[in-house]
Amino acid sequence: MIYSIPQNDIEFKKEEEYIFSLFEDLLSSTSKHVKPEDEVLIRKAFNLAYESHKGTRRKSGEPYILHPIAVAKIVTSEIGLGTIGIVCALLHDVVEDTDYTLEDIRHLFGDKIASIIDGLTKISGMFDQQSSLQAENFRKMLLTLSDDVRVILIKLADRLHNMRTLDAMPPNKQMKIAGETIYLYAPLAHRLGLYAIKSELEDLSLKYRHPKIFQEISNKIKDNEKKRQQEINRFSLPIIEKLEKNNIEFDINGRPKSIFSIWNKMQVKNIPFEEVFDLMAIRIVFRSLNNETEKAQCWQIYSLITDIYTPKPDRIRDWISSPKANGYEALHTTVMGPNGKWVEVQIRSKRMDEIAERGFAAHWKYKGEKNYESELDKWIKKIREMLENPNSNALEFLDEFKMNLFASEIMIFTPKGDLKTLPKNSTALDFAYEIHSEIGNKAIGAKVNHKLVPLNHILYSGDQVEIITSSKKRIQTEWFDYVKTAKAKLSITNAIKAETKNRIEKGKEMLDAKLKELNLHPSSRVFRKILPEYDVLNKDELYSKIGSGIIKLDDLKKILKKNTKNKLIRYWGLQILKSSKDKKESLQTKDPGKFNYKEPIIIRDDTNITYKIGKCCNPIPGDDVMGYKNPQNDYIIIHKSKCPNAIKIMSSEGNYIVPVKWTSQKLLSFLAKLSLNGIDRVGIAADITTVISDELNVNIRKIYIETHDGIFEGSLDLYVYSVADLNNLILNISKIKGVESVKRNEDMAS
């Protein structure tokens, strides 16, 4: 990331003046919430950062000190942190990139700042063989979260500036950083309520993962900008008149959906840009009389708007009565505008708007007025619970963190009406453990909405759940397959460990008592005889099986009298073989090094590169793709860049990403899937197969067509050489009389 280059005195002086002007601009932007005496501490941090980073530059060629200044500016202007946040932002790379140590920072700036810097400093050295650097860094960062959330906020500011300046990096690094951003940091910003930062991170990630798509959508938004502004004005004018007439003090503005959210909707619904109906949203921010009347004012404004425009019944989102887990409060509705297009309207108070834009940082401002931090506190508590599991490696932790804390949520009621929040697809057993670990351990079933269901029953928002327990119930290992939440998994793990420990202690007491009856004491000679006879590898396994009743000790006297020489040889031989096997596997899984491909690999008919197609997404030549080259294999796996598995790889194993360009091929064909529908008529299936097989000479693997009430729907699996051939095929099929729609099915896993 950094390197040194020589400069002449004139250039250095101009550069120095520019650096100091940016720092003064930073100071002026902090004047609202930083005391004059704190300015001394900020200048001290800047001077240390400036001197320690002097002579080093970023890949773009600019002085490195500009990066911490930019991060500090984001921290104060876009997130709203105070002096400690600014100081830590200025110093966040000093320990990692210079000779200064954490102890130096502690001595100069105190324990609190040193603790935050420690959380921001990347791990170096050796890691778990099955883990990854990115995952370990992320885990360490979260370890500090329970002490000070500013670690995460500064890290998000750091990531945002890195994404804003990503042009200077080589393509493989761009893909790695962009993938990591969309997989972890954008959802994390969303979870902390930083919507503006979350949207920008998503857009910038899309820009580098799918540059052509990003540019196309961006151009279409710009082309429609004038027309869209006219539509916003036309839509807003009656609302403005109505609100003013009712003496409501407010601001109203219209904004287009972010590029990423438009693209995401196009992917989810498989529609073109032109069919994304809610391209714009109107936001109304009102000045509340007091916090107690905010909810009533929101609904009053909703009522006034729906007097003018007809609402879409299934698009009301009430996050005032039940705020999101990140504290977000607002009332959303979608109404039919004057030009026949749906428009989303967001209604918020000034306080709600500040929390929506600045997230966690804004909550501190309102602390004590109302319990605004309760949901966020619960979220941080869940992170602590996940971090308490010492057994999971970093990649497992990353998956669980993503699944439990970024997933969509459901609201579940207890029998008494208390509300519990769980990740989507949670089960009755997850709910039991959410109530209390002992309730989960003793659960035998549940009643959901007064109906008896098994423990693996999946819950839905609004369900009322009662857990049925029994004191005789024992933990089952298959329960791991029943649960989704980290809290439940950790509780089951701890319960099984405790049960195993009890069985071992019980088994040890039983064996000691039996040996005492035979006037013997536990010794290595005794264990050498009985371990192979009971087909166990160690004492703990023996004790556990005795304690659980699997092994009976009735024949112990007879076993101890046997000549077990041959069995001992076989037993210890097996142990030696097992040990050798373990060593061999350990050598095979050892990470032999990192790959760093800067130039894209071109794959064509005459390529001598061995590659495999990702079965999860089945890309074809012409798709936007990336490669994954694990050093343990001699081939590259090709995924679509937008494939969820590819995004996960970018985040967790970014060092093994290979930039790939796939040219059109004529020797190999690739599987593609189409979905189509239209008006049914006699012979339409024959016409479709004729166009595919005879006119275009494409090999059909499978065809399925179903008709109902004069409408047909179908799917085609066929082999093509490239995206261009597939698009040509789609064009020709769409010309057949009766065919209304032909689309490529991107979800090959389905």
Beta bridge partners of 464: 413
Which structure tokens are listed for 644? 């969820």
Residue type (1 letter), 98: T
Which structure tokens are listed for 46? 């800047």
Which structure tokens are listed for 281? 């949203």
Let me know: does 117 contact 94? Beta carbons within 8 Å.
yes
Q: In whole angstroms, give the CA distance from residue 543 to residue 583.
A: 27
Helices (H) and strands (E) in the chain, counts: 30, 20
What is the maximum alpha-carbon separation in the chain?
102
To the query of whether residue 97 is one of the catalytic residues in this protein, the response is yes
Q: Is beta strand 280-286 parallel, antiparallel or unpaired with respect to 342-349?
A: parallel
Let me know: does 283 contact 237? Beta carbons within 8 Å.
no
Count CB neighbours of 668 within 10 A.
11
Query: What's the DSSP call for residue 457?
Result: P
Q: Is beta strand 419-423 parallel, antiparallel or unpaired with respect to 443-448?
A: unpaired
Let me know: does 310 contact 371? Beta carbons within 8 Å.
no
Look at residues 52, 26, 40, 161 and name the one whose alpha carbon lies nearest to residue 105.
52
Q: In whole angstroms, give the CA distance from residue 333 to residue 329.
A: 13
Q: Which position among 15, 16, 62, 97 bears the catalytic label?
A: 97
Q: Is beta strand 699-708 parallel, antiparallel or unpaired with respect to 625-628?
A: unpaired
Q: Which position among 11, 17, 51, 96 bears the catalytic label?
A: 96
Q: In whole angstroms, give the CA distance from residue 703 to residue 718.
A: 9
Q: Which residues, in sequence order, are CB contacts of 184 under 8 Å at separation 6+?
A: 138, 398, 402, 651
Q: Is beta strand 317-318 parallel, antiparallel or unpaired with respect to 419-423?
A: unpaired
Burial 66-88 (b: 16+ CB within 10 A, else e): bbbbbbbbbbbebbbbbbbbbbb
Burial class (CB in 10 A: 0-12, 13-18, 19+), 311: middle
To the query of whether residue 104 is one of the catalytic residues in this protein, the response is no
Q: Is beta strand 342-349 parallel, antiparallel or unpaired with respect to 331-336?
A: antiparallel
Look at residues 203, 322, 341 and name the one whose alpha carbon lies nearest to residue 281.
341
DSSP 48-62: HHHHHHTT-B-TTSS
Which structure tokens are listed for 582? 């373990």
Residue type (1 letter), 156: L
Burial class (CB in 10 A: 0-12, 13-18, 19+), 298: buried
User: What are the phi and psi torsion angles at 278 (to 5°)?
Assistant: -105, 65
Q: In whole angstroms, give the CA distance from residue 513 to residue 209.
A: 67
Q: Which residues are catalytic?
A: 96-97
